[in-house]
Amino acid sequence: MAIKVTTKNNIVKIGYEQGPSGATGATGIQGEQGDTGPQGPAGSGATGQTGPQGPVGPGGAAPVISQNVVVNLPTGGSFGKYSHGDVITYNSEDPQNALDLILDAVNESGAPNIVTFTSTTPPFNLTSSNLTVSYNVQNQNEPAGALMTVRVDRKAEGADDNTYSQVHINENISASSVNTSFSDSYTLVGFSTTGFTYRLTATDDKPGSTSDIQTITVSPSYSDTTISPGLVAARSTNSGFTGETNSSREKGNYDSTVTATINKNNTYVNITEVKLERRVDGGAYSTLVTENSGFGGADYSFSFTDNSNSALSDVSTIEYKITVKDQYTANGGSSFFDTFTVNLDKFPVVFSFATTASSPTTSDADLQSIYSALLTNADVSSNKRLISSSGMASEVFNGSNGTNNVAHFTYVAYPNSFGNFTDVRDTGDFDILQDDTWLKDGGTGTPFSGGAFDVTTSFGETLSVKMYKSNSTGAFGSTQTVTITT
């Protein structure tokens, strides 16, 4: 270092002048740390971004129940599956907390619900075909994610349960319900009346759930042959008198056309025989006709005209019987039959007029001529009527232009078996039997000609007839009525 002398304001200063730097020396030993200085003023820089949320620390244990809980909801409310008075059971091994109770209340495993389960029925004597089985099952635990399985098994009707075999399965059903059908083929022996039993089992994979099981039995059934409408014996000829039906006819009207429409009622069972029989007055049946062919596979219309009745005489009843057999009844089933009875229980009565005046001494031949004229002249159809064998009971007849004619006598002719008149009244309810309106034999009220005479009816029957005649012509006006009782 050199000495430097300077003057300023007459003052001399002596100093040293820095010389050139020397070489750097070696680093010395670290000294002791000094005391901490005072804190500087706070900085004014901007706040930095918030750091990420740290993990939540472990929570404390939730409180649990220590005994059974009785549900107390007296106003009718409910706590999930629990109602007033129910007991929530305390689990001593794993006590429940509040969340456990809530989850338990709103979760309950229920079995699947079979809503419908049906099958078509095998037709009788259709030995092989297919049945349609249908079902609708609800997945009760679908909200909890349960998967449901539906299985259908079949056995022969009446067989042991250990003979069931699976015919259908539907698995992993996640929907709330399943509604489906399937076809199931079968084979049966001919004419079988036993079919099958189906069993449906619905389950799911929800713990605690149970199964729903239903069975149905379908059996082929034979339906009896029917006749619709029923067997009918229709009159081949109608009586000339009113009041006749097919089942209640004039005596002697025997001939009939017998008809029937036979409904076989089983598609796969054909008719094999139709037989018509007849019996008279409750006697034994005799066969009129037997048919064994021509039926085809459909219903059958039967018709037979019975004109053999010309040989009958004085018959009171005729009964027809039709018997039908089919493939099933021919193999041991009961035959079907129907009957129709013809009652020949009606007799002719006529209220009419004639120009001839008879008397108690008139011959039977002349009376028969008068009778024929009465049948021809009757100008009110209801005045020619059929009446049952019990006789006339307040039978009302009508006056007509013919009975009102001053040239005509009024007559009533009827079966002798009815007996004499006991009461005859006109429109005004006046008893004219005891009046002189009617001819009387010796004043006793008996008919003339010894009481009766025979006529031959249009059906060839001999009928004993009584006849009354008015004493005067034009005896009954066209608006009058006459009520007669025998």
Which CATH superfamily groups domain 113-218?
Immunoglobulins (2.60.40.10)
Please check the confidence at residue 11 and state whether its pLDDT lies above 50: no
pLDDT band at 101 (very low <50, low <70, confident <90, very high): confident
pLDDT at 333: 62
Please check the confidence at residue 124 and state whether its pLDDT lies above 50: yes
* CATH 2.60.40.10 domain position(s) in the chain: 113-218, 226-345
* More confidently predicted of 349 and 55: 349
Taking residues 366-388, what's their average pLDDT? 95
Least confident of 44-53, 112-121, 412-421, 477-486: 44-53
pLDDT at 32: 67
Can you tell me the distance from the alpha carbon of 242 to that of 104, in angstroms, rounded to the nearest whole number? Answer: 89
pLDDT digits (tens, 9 = 90+) for 65-83: 888 888 888 887 787 778 8
* More confidently predicted of 352 and 472: 352
pLDDT band at 198 (very low <50, low <70, confident <90, very high): very high
Please check the confidence at residue 97 and state whether its pLDDT lies above 60: yes
Are 349 and 395 spatial neighbours (Cβ–Cβ below 8 Å)?
yes
pLDDT band at 5 (very low <50, low <70, confident <90, very high): very low
Can you tell me the distance from the alpha carbon of 196 to that of 201, in angstroms, rounded to the nearest whole number? Answer: 16
Are 210 and 204 spatial neighbours (Cβ–Cβ below 8 Å)?
no
Please check the confidence at residue 132 and state whether its pLDDT lies above 80: yes
pLDDT at 107: 67
Q: What is the DSSP letter of 108?
A: -
Please check the confidence at residue 413 and state whether its pLDDT lies above 70: yes
Are 258 and 233 spatial neighbours (Cβ–Cβ below 8 Å)?
yes
Place of tokens 């219903």: 299
Phi, psi of 416 (to 5 degrees): -60, -30
Largest CA distance in the chain: 219
Of 85, 140, 135, give the one whose Cα is nearest residue 110.
140
- E runs forming strands in 389-427: 395-398, 409-415, 423-425
Number of residues that make up the chain: 486
Can you tell me the distance from the alpha carbon of 206 to that of 81, in angstroms, rounded to the nearest whole number? Answer: 17
Please check the confidence at residue 390 and state whether its pLDDT lies above 60: yes
Range 226-345: architecture per CATH: Sandwich (2.60)
Can you tell me the distance from the alpha carbon of 367 to that of 196, in angstroms, rounded to the nearest whole number? Answer: 79
Exposed e or buried b per residue across 27-58, where buried means at least 16 C-beta atoms within 10 angstroms of its C-beta: eeeeeeeeeeeeeeeeeeeeeeeeeeeeeeee
Angle at 252 between CA 251 and CA 256, to 5 degrees: 110
Can you tell me the distance from the alpha carbon of 367 to that of 356, in angstroms, rounded to the nearest whole number? Answer: 10
Instruction: List Cα–Cα distances, 414 to 366, 418, 447, 451, 464, in angstroms.
Output: 16, 8, 11, 12, 8
Can you tell me the distance from the alpha carbon of 97 to that of 61, in angstroms, rounded to the nearest whole number? Answer: 10
Average pLDDT, the chain: 86
pLDDT at 54: 62
Of 217, 185, 181, give the one whose Cα is nearest residue 199.
217
pLDDT digits (tens, 9 = 90+) for 294-305: 898 889 999 999
pLDDT digits (tens, 9 = 90+) for 267-285: 999 999 999 999 999 999 9
Q: How many CB atoms within 10 Å of residue 148?
A: 26
Residue 387: strand pairing partners:
347
Over its C-alpha atoms, the chain yields an Rg (Å, rounded) of: 59
Most confident of 118-122, 307-311, 463-467: 118-122
